Amino acid sequence: MAEAKAKFGAPAKVPAWVNLGLIPFINLLAAFFISGLVILIIGDNPLKALEVLIYGAFGYPEAIGYTLYYTTNFIFTGLAVAIAFHCGLFNIGAEGQAFISGLGVGLAALYLDFLPFWMVIPIAILAAALFGAIWAYVPGYLQAKRGSHVVITTIMFNFIAFSIMNYTLVEILISKEAGGSPETREFAENTWLALAPDFTGMADSPLNFSFIIALALSVAFYYFVWHTRWGYEIRVVGQNETAAKYAGISPARNIILAMTISGALAGFVAVNELLGVHHKVIMEFTGGFGFVGIAVALMGRNHPVGIFMAALLFGAIYQGGTELAFEMQSINKEMVIVIQGLIILFSGALEHMFRPKIESFFRRAATAKAVEA
Amino acid sequence: MMKRLKIAAMAVAAVAVSGIAHAEDFKPAIVFDMGGKFDKSFNEAAYNGAEEFKKKSGIDYMEFEVTQVSQREQGVKRMARKGASIVVAMGFAQADAVKKAAKANPDTKFTIVDMVVDLPNVQSIVFKEHEGSFLVGMAAAMTSKTGKVGFVGGMDIPLIRKFALGYEEGAKYANPSAEVFQNMTGTTPAAWNDPTKGGELAKSQFDRGADVVYAAAGGTGIGVYQAAKDAGKFAIGVDSNQNYLHPGTMLTSMTKRVDVAVREAFESAKNGTWKAGIKVLGLKEGGVGYAIDEHNKGVLDKDIIAKLEQARADIIAGKIKVTDYMSK
């Protein structure tokens, strides 16, 4: 082990807490610092803003409920983007896959609601996964067999999904009672997912059973990617397609598989939003979660634990940002987007800015210790 | 501990103040929908109304701009909990949020614009956009030399189809052989703010022979009006009076007085005349109409105005029936 550490060009061996804790923390600090400057420029108190942001995200039970509700969506889309990343694919169609899954949820919940809840809910969840999977299967197939790049096809499939959903909601599924608002009738109560129980104090927030599903899927994701042959094959294709072929692994099969799973995972956003919160199919329920999922997967290094942490961070920023808009009138929605953008910039895009310095510091410290000993 | 002290102090102060303060107790609140208060259209009209109230009465209002679907309920409920005397919610999409918040806060007044929520503490304000659109449709068909007029909608939703249907009926009423081209900008909320695409759609309608085009598309309309100016054709504005944007090529604007509705909601809540129930604002109530000002004086012909006034009277009297897309 000692020789491996000293090898030239080997990745820096720094304590894990530095890699996973300190560096993200410093990135976050830098982002907050710049945000603070911006807030100072518009003439408000940055420390108060930070306090409101944190209080708004974690300060009282309902806030935590909202934070975890956003987190749930980000876990789903983060995992969706991550599984595609493991196969070397860039799925930017999670938004459309989630949206079209709303149709699956809707059809199941609207037309099968005579079934008892323990039948209709699983069917609706499966329908969500199935619709998302189909929507991602097509770009996956085109990539694998025809060489059409998934970045292009998935983003175009977003628009097709929006148009299909717009058409079905305005022309077909629209409810007579909705007074012209493009939405379906309310689902029957037996299809609703359980909200957070009363004793948590979060019953007034949209947090629901989907959060448990998200945690379960995270565990399943870990097991699938690192402990099954399928996951192994997907990773091999992602790292080296030629080597995969040489080893007898079919890249085409795995590209399609990874994309299908990716779409199915994205589809769970519809479960959280429609079965858990709105109880009807509405427009715009995906709210950009699919796109933020890309940032979540990047920040979380495509690992379920990292994705959970990143999703929690984004959830906190979303909910804390809402609180900011409420409590500080000088901070409007554009300002909140600036703060969110800076955090993404520093912890995602500029991730390597501080890393070399910090790593070399700890390496030097480690060497000094070794010499002393 | 500090916090608890603070709360206690605040409670004491509140009790002390509540004895004297009356007018200061009035706390209006408004929740804008997605698009935000500067969308050059629906939400901005509401913002103008709220600002007008603030200027007149000197009372500040609380506001929130929704950016996520789930924030609607959060925002409306939050305003009620912060002690708002009246919460005005903009847009049909907030109906569910208002429903839930109104049930949870039976003592708070709620006003929703563009949608009906049937609860004892909710006032619903809806507009007869089809009536106003009918009149500008007539104006378009009578001004057109080619007999072809265009319509550019924002997002393809029933509300916009309501504008389109009224416009088409108006055009056909004035000129039975008139041809109406209809295009929607898109199927996502981005369609409300895409002037480039609005301009392209207008140009394509001009290429097909249209010489008057009506935009009901929020910020997208800016591109439509610009395209009309560049091509030397006529455009019709929407919601606010937009005649001033391009004097000379703006034929008129279909006004939907959202600003008045918001201001009146605040004012009536303040002086106690606010009433729950449905308020339908059409031509009769002056809620919709067409704009004539110094910017389009020479543009809209006198004979046409006379005919429009006749049609307005006929619609109010029920002699002309304009179809409402929503109740079709």
What DSSP string runs through B185-225? EESSGGGGG-HHHHHHHHHHHHHTT--EEEEESGGGHHHHH
Phi, psi of B254 (to 5 degrees): -85, 110
In chain A, how many domains are there?
1
pLDDT above 90 (res B103): yes
**For position B5, what pLDDT does the model report?**
52
| Residue stretches of chain A with pLDDT short of 50 | 1-10
Q: What percent of chain A has pLDDT over 90?
A: 59
- Measure A322 CA to nearest chain B CA, in Å: 8
Q: What is the Cβ-side half-sphere exposure of residue A60, based on CA atoms within 13 angstroms?
A: 7
B298-308 mean pLDDT: 90
| CATH code for position A296 | 1.10.3470
- Measure A162 CA to nearest chain B CA, in Å: 6
Q: Which CATH number fits the domain B21-127+259-281, given the four candidates 3.40.50.2300, 2.40.10.10, 3.30.70.2740, 3.30.1360.150?
A: 3.40.50.2300
Kind and range of the H or E run holding B3? helix B2-18
The three-state secondary structure class of B64 is: strand
Is the CB of B78 less than 8 angstroms away from the CB of A332? Answer: no
How many contacts, defined by CB atoms under 8 Å, are there between A and B? 77
Is A79 within the bounds of a domain? yes
**Chain mean pLDDT for chain B:** 89
Name residues whose C-beta falls within 8 Å of residue B154's C-beta, 6 or more positions apart in sequence.
Answer: B160, B184, B185, B186, B191, B192, B216, B217, B218, B220
Q: Which of B113, B160, B187, B197 to mutate to test the interface with A (most CBs of A within 10 A)?
A: B187
Establish whether domains B21-127+259-281 and B129-255+298-327 are of one fold.
Answer: yes
pLDDT tens-digit map of B239-280: 888 899 999 999 999 999 999 999 999 999 999 999 999 999
Is the CB of B158 less than 8 angstroms away from the CB of A287? Answer: no
Is the CB of B69 less than 8 angstroms away from the CB of A273? Answer: yes
**For position B15, what pLDDT does the model report?**
44
Encoded tokens for B78: 């939050």
Interchain CB contact of A187 with B (< 8 Å)? no
- pLDDT band with cut points at 50, 70 and 90 for residue B68: confident
CA distance B43 to B90: 7
Is the CB of B158 less than 8 angstroms away from the CB of A174? Answer: yes
Task: Classify residue B93 by its DSSP letter.
Answer: G
Cβ contacts of B75 on chain A, cutoff 8 Å? 326
Q: CA of B93: which chain A residue's CA is closest?
A: A181
Cβ contacts of A181 on chain B, cutoff 8 Å? 92-93, 95, 115, 157-158
Is A6 within the bounds of a domain? no
Q: Which of B7, B34, B70 to mutate to test the interface with A (most CBs of A within 10 A)?
A: B70
pLDDT tens-digit map of B109-156: 999 999 999 999 999 999 999 999 999 999 999 999 999 999 999 999
- Measured at the CA of A77, the angle between CA A234 and CA A53, to 5 degrees, comes to 140
Q: ipTM for the complex?
A: 0.81
Kind and range of the H or E run holding B46? helix B42-57
Whole-number CA gyration radius for chain A: 22
Is the CB of A282 less than 8 angstroms away from the CB of B69? Answer: yes
Strand B148-155 relative to strand B179-186, pairing? parallel
- Measure B223 CA to nearest chain A CA, in Å: 22
Is A134 within the bounds of a domain? yes
Task: Please give the residue that has the higher pLDDT: either A106 or B193.
Answer: A106
- pLDDT band with cut points at 50, 70 and 90 for residue B21: very low
Is the CB of B63 less than 8 angstroms away from the CB of A174? Answer: no
Angle of helix A251-270 versus helix A61-86 axis, rounded to 10: 170
**For position B3, what pLDDT does the model report?**
54
Identity of residue B326: M
Cβ contacts of B77 on chain A, cutoff 8 Å? 204
Interface of A with B in 314-333 (CB under 8 A): 318, 322, 325-326, 329, 332-333
CA distance B100 to B172: 43
pLDDT above 90 (res B162): yes
pLDDT above 50 (res B17): no
User: Could you tell me the residue ranges of all domains in chain B?
Assistant: 21-127+259-281, 129-255+298-327
Q: Residues A204, A62: contact at Cβ < 8 Å?
A: yes
Per the structure, the complete domain to which residue A72 belongs is given by 48-350
CA distance B284 to B282: 5
**For position B19, what pLDDT does the model report?**
39
pLDDT above 50 (res B14): no
Interface of B with A in 137-176 (CB under 8 A): 155-159, 162
Cβ contacts of A273 on chain B, cutoff 8 Å? 69-70
Q: CA of B185: which chain A residue's CA is closest?
A: A163
B212-224 mean pLDDT: 93
CA distance B161 to A174: 14
Is the CB of A278 less than 8 angstroms away from the CB of B36? Answer: no
Q: Which CATH number fits the domain B129-255+298-327, given the four candidates 3.40.50.2300, 2.60.40.3880, 3.30.565.10, 3.50.50.60?
A: 3.40.50.2300
